[in-house]
Amino acid sequence: MRDLGVGFGYLLKGQRWVARHGRQYGFGLLPGLITLVLYAAALVALALWGADAVSWATPFADDWGSPWQGLFRGFLTAVLFALGLLLAVLTFTAVTLLVGQPFYENLSETVDADVSPDGTAPRSGLPLWRELWISARDSLRVLVRAALWGVLLFALGFLPFVGQTVVPVIGFFVTGFFLTEELAAVALQRRGVELRARLTLFRSRKTLVWGFGTPLGLAFLVPFAAVFLMPGAVAGATLLARDLLGEESAADDPAAPGAPGGRPDTEDVTPRPRYSPSPSSRSSP
């Protein structure tokens, strides 16, 4: 359970980091604002025409008497909007990261260099078009996994009591897991860790991932919160990725350059991560 607090701590550290770096925060807001406008339009359309879609999909209820027809279709309309909202939360990060790839890539690199004992950040060495392709491909794969979970939770939502209590809780943990994957992918992709290896890492530290992503997923339900939290979420996910890979951070290394009693700044320091992706784990189009 300690990892839950550690994961939440990285979320807070990310927000504090961008608060100290106003320029990075300002640039990081732009992709979220663009994506927010698109998603708001889609959710408004779902709210306006969701009932019509449910009526079209349930012709067998046309002859039902009052109040059963209204209750049944009203319930399905509410579930449809809730599912749309869940998918919006799950995919908002992926779409925002895709739109803002250059912004968040730079932000993540800056965080890495800021906390690294030797002041450097890993780089993929790939051209921008290839990074965008890998990001879009992996985001689609994650979306398929998230959609399958969404369908399963939607079906379980019809179970009496369990569907109204346990299922929503599970849904938030699922959301938190996939949110963290999407955010940490910015840092992990630069290190050549492909999607399958990333998911293996996350499953090995699920409580850490939930501690970071589940509160963030809940916060994203607050109108406009996702836009303002995204830059800090990317920064925090970069710190979390370093933890998952066992990489030292300057704040955690008492012998880091510039620290009291530490190594001199001129000494060459090479981080020694406990995890190193094999050649087969390198991302490719």
**What is the tens place of the pLDDT at every residue in 243-266?**
998 887 765 443 344 333 343 333
> If we measure between CA atoms, which residue out of 202, 200, 193 comes closest to residue 276?
193
Mean pLDDT in residue range 15-41: 88
Token pair 């300002």 in the structure block, residue: 26
Q: What's the total number of domains in the chain?
A: 1
Q: Assess if residue 179 is contained within a domain.
A: yes
Host domain of residue 151: 2-58+68-250
Q: Assess if residue 78 is contained within a domain.
A: yes
Q: 216: which 2 tokens?
A: 């963030």
In this model, does residue 153 exceed pLDDT 50? yes
Residue 152 and residue 4: Cα distance in Å, rounded?
25
pLDDT at 237: 94
Q: Assess if residue 278 is contained within a domain.
A: no
Q: Assess if residue 271 is contained within a domain.
A: no
Render pLDDT for 76-86 as a digit per residue (tens, 0 to 9).
888 888 888 77
Q: Assess if residue 262 is contained within a domain.
A: no
Mean pLDDT in residue range 239-246: 91
Between these two residues, 188 and 275, which has the higher pLDDT value?
A: 188
Render pLDDT for 196-221 as a digit per residue (tens, 0 to 9).
888 898 999 999 999 999 999 888 87
Q: 160: which 2 tokens?
A: 């009496």
Q: Assess if residue 226 is contained within a domain.
A: yes
pLDDT at 90: 67
End-to-end distance of the chain based on CA atoms, in angstroms? 38
pLDDT at 51: 83
Q: Assess if residue 177 is contained within a domain.
A: yes
Residue 11 and residue 16: Cα distance in Å, rounded?
9
> If we measure between CA atoms, which residue out of 104, 78, 189, 212 comes closest to residue 142?
189
In this model, does residue 141 exceed pLDDT 80? yes
Residue 141 and residue 19: Cα distance in Å, rounded?
33
Q: Assess if residue 214 is contained within a domain.
A: yes
